[in-house]
A = this chain, B = another copy of it.
Amino acid sequence: MRTPGTTHPVSADAAGPATLRADVAVIGGGVVGHGIAWEVQRSGRSVVLIDDAPGTGASWAAAGMLAPVSELHYQEEDLLELMLEASSRWPGFAAGVAEASGSDCGYLTTPTLAVGADAADRRALMDLRTVQQANGLAVEPLTVREARQREPLLSPAIACALDIPGDHQVDPRRLVAAVRLALAGAAREKPDLGVDGAVDGYAVPDRAACLVWEDGSVAGVRLVGGGTVLAAETVVANGLQAGTLGGLPDGLELPLRPVHGDILRLAVPRHLQPLVTATVRGLVHGVPVYIVPRADGTVVIGATQREDALSDAVSAGGVYQLLRDAQALVPAVAELELLESTARARPGTPDNAPLLGRVPAVPGAGSTASDTTGPAHVPGLIIATGFFRHGVLLTPAAAAICAELLDGKADPRWAPFRPDRFSRPAGAAQRTHIKETA
């Protein structure tokens, strides 16, 4: 734990006029940060959401598939449990946002078709189905004829199709916009929830420079623009930027890496509508591609995974690959209008699972139990980042888990995601060595 009064010694008493006070400060205005802020506010706490460009990071690119079944990977059962928890929360979460905002966030229970282009793709999808079924997930093979009866524009040359009724979708851009309306509405209507000095009673259009510490607790956030937010609890939900936030607890490692993806948005000409009615998730000669149909007659085609990029540059090769593989599944993709090519970085972690929870007093020590010399966790701090490909799906779960943590509860099911799991306590290497030779 950071010693009080060291790197970032800020006293609340010394705060200048640019100091805001809220019950909870959420750093990062992506889908996850918005979901957490809203859940926090719904729990009766005042909240500020700190972001100078909310909704423009990975959330801006995301297709919004809510796909615990299709996204299952081997040996990621802990993550599956979290994804299923999130999936079960989505109907209520979406309805709540819609009611609070008066705005539709594009939540649709459109089913998903998994489609393989060749025999090897078919084998891979059928092997995955074995794992999916072992986990109790519904994945039913269709004949190509059956698939094309449901989706007439599917290529007759596909090798297989599987029906996945449990994977749905939301529109992340509309979701962020709706949550912002809901946050502003509550801050306006309930004076206790509105934060003086914040835009619309909740928004802080700035970036976090570092955490503010006081007496061994995180007491808020120092902003790049010079201001300060003081809060009883701070949630770090700024994706890739979390790793470079100043003032994180000593010893806490947040090993986030950017995994860039290219994604396309296209309009379907009237005579081809609907291009597809289900989300089509393909495997084309081993490469994944998906086509997500929106209610407005557009489709989203994504997404590449590139770890070599340094910026949000759209890869020409990535765009080519997406158009090639999408056409292999649905040839009429060639007739669509390309509206937008976007690339963003997802915050990846070594095990592809989020960094979510409170930070133990001794990060990386392997236990969350308290000892007699201090608190079990760093007071005032919650980490919620590293959502990688799953940020949109996991948002309602992350929001609910954060709200429980604020209430002092910690569900042991989510212990595998403790944010210090890649940290090593000071001297750990030496102790390990002693143990081995003992």
A residues engaging B (CB < 8 A)? 264, 266-267, 313-317, 319-320, 323-324, 327, 333-339, 341
Contacts and interface: CB of A to CB of B under 8 A. Distances in A.
22 contacts: A264-B316, A266-B316, A314-B338, A314-B339, A315-B334, A315-B335, A315-B337, A315-B338, A316-B323, A316-B333, A316-B334, A316-B335, A316-B336, A317-B336, A319-B319, A319-B323, A320-B320, A320-B323, A320-B324, A320-B327, A320-B334, A341-B341
Nearest to A262: B338
A331 to B, nearest CB: 9
Given A267-B313, A319-B319, 20 more contacts: A313-B337, A313-B338, A314-B339, A315-B334, A315-B335, A315-B336, A315-B337, A315-B338, A316-B333, A316-B335, A316-B338, A317-B323, A317-B327, A317-B333, A317-B334, A317-B335, A319-B338, A320-B334, A324-B324, A341-B341
A431 to B, nearest CB: 44
A327 B319 CA distance: 12
A199 to B, nearest CB: 32
Contacts of A324: 320, 324
A316 B341 contact: no
Contacts of A316: 264, 266, 323, 333-338
A82 B225 CA distance: 60
Contacts of A327: 317, 320
A324 B264 CA distance: 17
A269 to B, nearest CB: 8
Contacts of A335: 315-317
Contacts of A266: 316
A358 to B, nearest CB: 40
The 3 closest A-B pairs by CB, nearest first: A317-B334, A313-B337, A320-B323
A336 B327 CA distance: 22
Contacts of A313: 267, 337-338
A330 to B, nearest CB: 11
Contacts of A333: 316-317
A160 to B, nearest CB: 24
A372 B337 CA distance: 56
A338 B267 CA distance: 19
Which of A266, A316, A336 counts the most chain B CB atoms within 10 A? A316
A252 to B, nearest CB: 34
